[in-house]
Amino acid sequence: MPSAAQYYREPRITLLARPTFTEPDHLPVSWLGESTDGERLAEFAGRLCYMSQRNPAGRNTRDYLENIKKQGHGSVLEHANYSLLVEGVSRSLTHELVRHRAGFAYSQLSQRYVDESDAAFVVPPAVIGDESLEGAWRSQVDSALASYVGLVEQLMTLYGWVADRVHRRKMAREAARGVLPNSTETKIVITGNARAWRTMLELRSSEGAELEIRRMAVAVIRLLVAEAPAFFSDFEIYDAEDRREAARIGYHKV
């Protein structure tokens, strides 16, 4: 029997990687103001286009990048990549997430290689706080998990003729996972450039987005605004009419 399942009520997001910028000695920039490596990398790339390293307009990095966003010259934002580890999200969330292709790379937990007998589940935001709904939902996912465990066992017997045990387990799990619900928790590493993150976050933090991915998008916006304000600070997080957080962007699709 599986041990008691774990239930997630919010995503866990960890920054794994950010850009490192090394200024070339032969092309120094007259930097002004506070900035991070990622922001400097984008400014450096932008200034190279016009060879304006002397900074004739006397702009600090954040004003320079504000102007880049305003002008829609978003391609320089593509030099700065940020990698996040996202856990405590459902398979239905990642199914939507991976539709965002341009500028993103993904690596996700495999349900063929990883045993899901101890899978965790993500409580749908709409159900959180309603005891009766949450209880009904929990009994459904618990029963799905029990079915999964039973099926893996039966399939291991069915595939007894497969000599390679690792392969046999993979064959059993890939068939048995069919009974696992969309709420099954998954883990994913996402690398995206700042322009790609902006486009995805604009779509997924809006009021029209599904609640779980919207909650994740708002959390990612908070993390990235703190990490690199020049790229992300035109996002405004607000309480929407549906009493959940949403965000709107200042500069659409740079």
Ligand X SMILES: Cc1cc2nc3c(=O)[nH]c(=O)nc-3n(C[C@H](O)[C@H](O)[C@H](O)COP(=O)(O)OP(=O)(O)OC[C@H]3O[C@@H](n4cnc5c(N)ncnc54)[C@H](O)[C@@H]3O)c2cc1C
> Contact positions toward ligand X, by CB under 6 A?
99-102, 199, 203-204, 208-209
Give the integer Cα–Cα distance in Å for 117 and 1.
8
Strand duo 7-8 + 121-122: pairing: parallel
Q: Which lies closer to ligand X via its Cβ, residue 62 or residue 204?
A: 204
Distances in Å between the alpha carbon of 31 and those of 57, 59, 64, 123, 224? 11, 8, 10, 47, 22
Q: Which lies closer to ligand X via its Cβ, residue 69 or residue 100?
A: 100
Q: Which lies closer to ligand X via its Cβ, residue 61 or residue 193?
A: 193
**CA 12 from centroid of its chain's CA atoms:** 10
Beta carbon of residue 45, minimum distance to ligand X (angstroms, whole number): 19
Helix (H) or strand (E) holding 222: helix 211-227
CA torsion 63-68-72-74 (nearest 10°) is -120
Beta carbon of residue 96, minimum distance to ligand X (angstroms, whole number): 7
Q: Which residues pair with 188 in a beta bridge?
A: 86, 108
Q: Which lies closer to ligand X via its Cβ, residue 27 or residue 102?
A: 102
Q: Are 208 and 250 in contact (CB under 8 A)?
A: no
Give the integer Cα–Cα distance in Å for 30 and 169.
59
Helix (H) or strand (E) holding 147: helix 131-158
Beta carbon of residue 226, minimum distance to ligand X (angstroms, whole number): 23
**Is 165 annotated in the active site?**
no
Structure tokens, 135: 């209880």
Q: Which lies closer to ligand X via its Cβ, residue 16 or residue 102?
A: 102
Beta carbon of residue 198, minimum distance to ligand X (angstroms, whole number): 10
Exactly one of 204, 215, 243, 244 is catalytic; name it. Answer: 204
Beta carbon of residue 99, minimum distance to ligand X (angstroms, whole number): 4
Q: Which residue has the tokens 């699709």?
A: 253
- Residues annotated as part of the active site: 204
